[in-house]
A = this chain, B = another copy of it.
Amino acid sequence: MRISELDTPAVLVDLDRVERNLARFQAYCDRHGIENRPHVKTHKVVEFARRQVELGAVGICCQKLGEAEVMAAAGLPDILIPFNLVGAAKLGRARALAERVALRVSADDPLVVDGLAEAFASAPRPLPVLVECDTGARRCGVQTPEAARELALRIDRARGLRFAGLMTYPAKGAPERAATFLAEAKALIEARGLAVPSVSSGGTPDMWRAHEQPVITEYRVGTYIYNDLMEVACGAARLEDCALTVLTTVVSRPTADRAILDAGSKSLTSDLNGQTGHGRIVEYPEAVIYGLSEEHGHVDLRACTARPSIGEKVRVIPNHACPVSNLFDRILTVRGERVEGSFVVAARGRVD
């Protein structure tokens, strides 16, 4: 089957581009002795997670326990959840999950560490816990290298836990600031006789600079498998590296200057991520998707010489690929214009 025969909207993933994207960053990590731990949040597809590990990833990363459970059931053996797991329900699930896979988690507060310690006190093997550091992104994380040291010592003291290292999600464009914090925390912890086996950073935007910070031993990347306009804008990828597109039909041409697509915010999401439009139409790059309703994309054609007719199908590269694949139960796999098959987005909807 050819792409032109598909109904719309649909998410297409070009497998040649996926392979190239995965191989390129894995080779970079291998060259620089960095452990690659891809984040499945972008694709949520077990086949892709397996492929990432097959190519050399040390394990995978899941932002939600529910995602990790799906990946574990699919045979993925090594999973990091870089997220504070809080509350009896989640701690019980984490304990069960750790019996099946090599699980590691992060924590940024004594309360979180104490919860994990209680849940894992009688576990057959200790749970590796990384200390999450806020190195400038102002999300989660301890605020100072000293606080990182104190939390590391607390983890080390806790029965059922093992201090596994440091983790950060750095501010975009400032990897050296993250590295400074991490190196300082590492030194403080080592000065107390505690080893820091792993220092994990992440983020697709700055992935090609991971080797500039020798303190980093592991890197977590998500979007690199698909790429999107945001990654192109920040120089991490080229347009021809964008593997995910939304196939959509021009369903209305109310005026000469305007087209309406059957893909709106429920297909493309409202994520702007620094872009002004809502995606790039591959066949009409001068067109501007200036607005979205839930099921309509509003396109300004004024800058276009050729203009699409009603019924014409076009492909849109989204601003942000991750939340797009999260809206679809299934993605269609393609190579060039040929449809190969489909993958279930198995971890989609595993919200907790």
Contact = CB atoms under 8 A, between A and B. Distances in A.
Contacts of A351: 9-10, 266-267, 327-328
A219 to B, nearest CB: 18
Contact of A252 (B108, B269, B293, B323): B108
Interface stretch (A30-38, A116-124, A186-194, A254-262): A254-262
B87 A311 contact: yes
Interface stretch (A14-22, A133-141, A159-167, A237-245): A133-141
A75 to B, nearest CB: 23
Interface stretch (A51-59, A228-236, A294-302): A294-302
Given A112-B310, A326-B327, A140 B251 contact: yes
A43 interface: no
A322 interface: yes
A328 B349 contact: yes
A262 to B, nearest CB: 8
Given A266-B323, A327-B351, A329-B349, A86 B140 contact: no
Contacts of A309: 111
A310 B64 contact: no
A39 B263 CA distance: 18
Nearest to A41: B294
Identify the interface centre among A111, A310, A328: most chain B CB within 10 Å of its CB.
A310
Interface in A76-128: 83-84, 86-87, 89-90, 108-109, 111-112, 115
Nearest to A7: B89
The number of times this chain is found in the oligomer is 2
A168 interface: no
A258 B329 contact: no
A340 to B, nearest CB: 19
B252 A84 contact: yes
A105 to B, nearest CB: 12
A233 B294 CA distance: 19
A253 interface: yes
A142 to B, nearest CB: 7
Interface of A: 7-10, 41, 63-64, 83-84, 86-87, 89-90, 108-109, 111-112, 115, 134, 138-143, 249, 251-255, 258, 260, 262, 265-267, 269-272, 293-296, 298, 309-311, 322-323, 326-329, 349, 351-352
Given A10-B351, A109-B252, A139-B298, 8 more contacts: A87-B311, A109-B310, A139-B296, A140-B260, A262-B352, A265-B269, A267-B351, A329-B349
6 contacts: A86-B262, A109-B252, A111-B311, A139-B298, A143-B255, A267-B351
